[in-house]
Amino acid sequence: RTSLKIGLIPADGIGKEVIPAAKEAIIALGSDIPKPEFIDLVAGWECFTRTGVALPEETLESLKEECDCALFGSVSSPSRKVVGYSSPIVSLRKKLDLYANIRPVVSVAPEVGQKPSVDLVVVRENTECLYVKQEKLTDGKHGKEARATRVITEHASRKIGLMAFELANSRPRKHLTIIHKSNVLSITDGLFRETVRAVPSLPSISGKYDGVTIAEQLVDSAVYRLFREPEIFDVMVAPNLYGDILSDAAAALVGSLGLIPSINAGDKFVMGEPVHGSAPDIESKGIANPLASIRSAALMLRHLGYTKGADRLDVAVDRVIREGKVLTPDLKGTSTTKEVLHAVLGKL
């Protein structure tokens, strides 16, 4: 590749503040990556209120036809049902078959070379579970009744299982915890658990994952243990909803949601995305933490094989956090988004 075409979808709220920061950080990498070309794309709640469409066809087309990868900010989805609106990030994950959401949660040790107290990755299935959004409201004998369909397939569970084993196998500890609730949901979560467990015995694997140790944990006690002894976890693989909740919870362990990156990954495309939402409480104040987005850019580059550029971004972010002088208010600092970006650029 001589150039890298990166779709930028800031979407709503602080997405508009943190995605431009990630763009600057990517540009600053210079020749460590192919020359970046940015393609501005729209989607989100504001786009919907303006045009009646949350995910314009042109955005989807550009991602499919033009872009090598993308960065997504955050959407402001209303909590009530709005006719015609559907969260574009949920649609994008399905439409681009970005079946895995990989969310590393790593604390920064006080000294370089020290072991971080939290160093885990949540691997979240990204296309099914309750997020198929098949909900129904009916009138029952005693008032309204709401029902939702939860879909777990062998196909998607195997794909996410493969991704999780591959990741676990590449990490020093090679430990995988399967998260489920099959003591209650024996059919749905049971299928997820059994399918993931069966991955190492697939004919195509032929012993490749023999070095990976496998544990399992019911989702509720997994949250409990996550808070009490986060060091027991390495890679955690979970169905969509549990993975979403677990990764926000894990974010609390390292100080802020504003630090946690992710990629939405499929076999053909990758989209970086901070784990946090549009943060309406701090929107337009210029104080959103850009580090989750810069780290998401690093994860995206790493996924594409640009290890050097990714490492440089991660090291710069770690140094800013370790020094603790230029931080946004979520990390008890007094700096702005721009000041934190400039601190990172200064460390590159």
Examine residue 126 and tell whether it contacts K ion (CB under 5 A): no
Q: How far is the CB of 39 from K ion (least distance, A)?
A: 19
Among residue numbers 249 through 278, which ones bind K ion (CB under 5 A)?
273
- CB-wise, 276 or 312, nearer to ligand NAD? 276
Could you tell me how many residues of this chain bind Mn ion (CB under 5 A)?
A: 1
Active site (annotated) includes residue 285: no
Residue 340's Cβ-count burial label (10 Å; 0-12, 13-18, 19+) is buried
Q: What is the CA radius of gyration of the chain?
A: 20
Determine which one of 210, 220, 267, 308 is catalytic.
Answer: 220
Q: At what angle do helices 188-198 and 154-170 cross, to 10 degrees?
A: 40
Judged by CB under 6 A, which stretch of 75-83, 154-162, 263-271, 295-303 contacts ligand NAD?
Answer: 75-83
Could you give the string, one character per residue 144-163, with x where binding to ligand NAD holds by CB under 6 A and - elsewhere? --------------------
11 neighbors 91 (Cβ within 8 angstroms):
no
Active site (annotated) includes residue 99: no
Query: Which residues lie closer than 8 Å to 240 by C-beta, 6 or more apart?
Result: 124, 125, 126, 127, 128, 129, 130, 131
Q: Is 133 helix (H, G, I), strand (E, B) or coil?
A: strand
Examine residue 244 and tell whether it contacts Mn ion (CB under 5 A): yes
Candidate residues 47, 63, 69, 89; the one interacting with ligand NAD per rule CB under 6 A = 89
Q: How far is CA 346 from the centre of its chain?
A: 26
Q: How far is the CB of 248 from Mn ion (least distance, A)?
A: 5
Tokens of 306: 């640009």
How big is the chain, counted in residues? 348
Q: Where are the beta strands (DSSP E) in the chain?
A: 3-11, 35-40, 69-74, 100-106, 119-125, 129-140, 143-151, 175-180, 213-218, 235-238, 263-265, 270-272
Judged by CB under 5 A, which stretch of 111-119, 157-165, 244-252, 325-333 contacts Mn ion?
Answer: 244-252
Candidate residues 104, 243, 258, 309; the one interacting with ligand NAD per rule CB under 6 A = 258
Residue 282 contact partner, candidates Mn ion, ligand NAD, K ion, none, CB within 5 to 8 A by sort of partner: ligand NAD
* Closest by Cα among 328, 321, 273 to 295: 273
Q: How far is the CB of 242 from Mn ion (least distance, A)?
A: 12
Candidate residues 59, 62, 77, 101; the one interacting with ligand NAD per rule CB under 6 A = 77
Examine residue 74 and tell whether it contacts K ion (CB under 5 A): yes
Candidate residues 280, 286, 324, 346; the one interacting with ligand NAD per rule CB under 6 A = 280
Active site (annotated) includes residue 141: no
d(CA 125, CA 196): 11
d(CA 326, CA 333): 7
Q: How far is the CB of 244 from K ion (least distance, A)?
A: 11
Find residue 40's DSSP bridge partners. 8
- CB-wise, 46 or 244, nearer to Mn ion? 244
Catalytic residue positions?
A: 131, 181, 220, 244, 248
Rule CB under 5 A: which residues touch K ion?
74, 273
